[in-house]
Amino acid sequence: MTLLLAGDIGGTKTNLLLAIAEAPDRLQPLYQASFASAAYSDLVPMVQEFLAAAQPTESRSPVVACFGIAGPVVAGRAQLTNLPWHLSETRLAAELGIPKVALINDFAAIAYGLPGLTDADQVVIQTGEADPAAPIAILGAGTGLGEGFIIPTTQGRQVFSSEGSHADFAPQTELESELLHFLRGFYEIEHVSVERVVSGQGIAAIYAFLRDRQPEQENPALGAIATAWQLGDEQAPDLAAAVSQAALSDRDPLALQAMRIFVSAYGAEAGNLALKLLSYGGVYVAGGIAGKILPLLTDGTFLRAFQAKGRVQGLLTRMPVTIVTNHEVGLIGAGLHAAAIATQS
Is residue 191 over pLDDT 70?
Answer: yes
Is residue 58 over pLDDT 60?
Answer: no
**Per-residue buried b or exposed e for 275-296, using 16+ beta carbons within 10 Å of the residue's own CB:** bebebbbbbbbbbbbbbbbeeb
Residues 186 and 229 in one domain: yes
Residues 165 and 72 in one domain: no
Query: In degrees, to the nearest 5, what angle opens at C-alpha 199 toward C-alphas 195 and 203?
Result: 115
Residue 59: what pLDDT? 54
DSSP state of 169: P
25 vs 268 pLDDT, higher one:
268
pLDDT band at 161 (very low <50, low <70, confident <90, very high): confident
Which range, of 155-164, 178-187, 195-204, 331-340, averages the lowest pLDDT? 155-164
Annotated binding site: 7-12
Which residues are paired to 27 by β-bridges? 21
Domain count, the chain: 2
Q: What is the CATH number of the domain that holds 71?
A: 3.30.420.40
Decide: 37 and 10 in contact? Cβ < 8 Å.
yes
Decide: 137 and 320 in contact? Cβ < 8 Å.
no
pLDDT in tens, 126-148: 999 999 999 999 999 988 898 99
* Mean pLDDT, the chain, whole residue set: 93
pLDDT band at 343 (very low <50, low <70, confident <90, very high): confident
Is residue 26 over pLDDT 90?
Answer: no
Residues 122 and 50 in one domain: no
High-pLDDT (> 70) share of the chain, %: 98
Residues 181 and 214 in one domain: yes
Instruction: Give mean pLDDT, residues 162-168.
Output: 92
Q: Considering only CA atoms, which of 199, 194, 202 is closest in space to residue 167? A: 194
pLDDT in tens, 66-119: 999 987 899 999 988 778 899 999 999 999 999 999 999 888 899 999 988 999
Which range, of 29-38, 80-89, 211-220, 282-291, averages the lowest pLDDT? 80-89
Q: What is the CATH number of the domain that holds 282?
A: 3.40.367.20
24 vs 104 pLDDT, higher one:
104
pLDDT band at 345 (very low <50, low <70, confident <90, very high): low
Number of other residues whose CB lies within 10 A of the CB of residue 238: 15
DSSP state of 27: E
pLDDT band at 270 (very low <50, low <70, confident <90, very high): very high
Which residues are paired to 101 by β-bridges? 65
Residues 79 and 158 in one domain: no
Residue 57: what pLDDT? 59
Residues 279 and 317 in one domain: yes
Residues 94 and 202 in one domain: no
Q: How far is CA 4 from CA 92, 158, 253, 256, in A?
A: 15, 22, 47, 43
Q: Where are the alpha helices (DSSP H) in the chain?
A: 43-54, 89-96, 106-113, 174-187, 200-213, 220-230, 239-248, 253-277, 294-297, 301-307, 313-317, 329-344
Residues 22 and 149 in one domain: no
pLDDT in tens, 241-250: 999 999 999 7
Residues 277 and 301 in one domain: yes
Residues 265 and 131 in one domain: yes
Q: From the centroid of its chain, how far is CA 124?
A: 18
Rounded to whole angstroms, the Cα distance separating 103 from 297 reads: 31
Rounded to whole angstroms, the Cα distance separating 301 from 326 reads: 22
Q: Considering only CA atoms, which of 126, 80, 70, 57 is closest in space to residue 283? A: 126
Annotated binding site for ATP: 7-12
Which range, of 15-29, 95-109, 303-317, averages the lowest pLDDT? 15-29
The pTM (predicted TM-score) of the whole model is 0.89
Range of the domain at 94: 3-113+328-344
Is residue 23 over pLDDT 80?
Answer: no
Residues 302 and 337 in one domain: no
Residues 36 and 175 in one domain: no
Residue 155: what pLDDT? 80
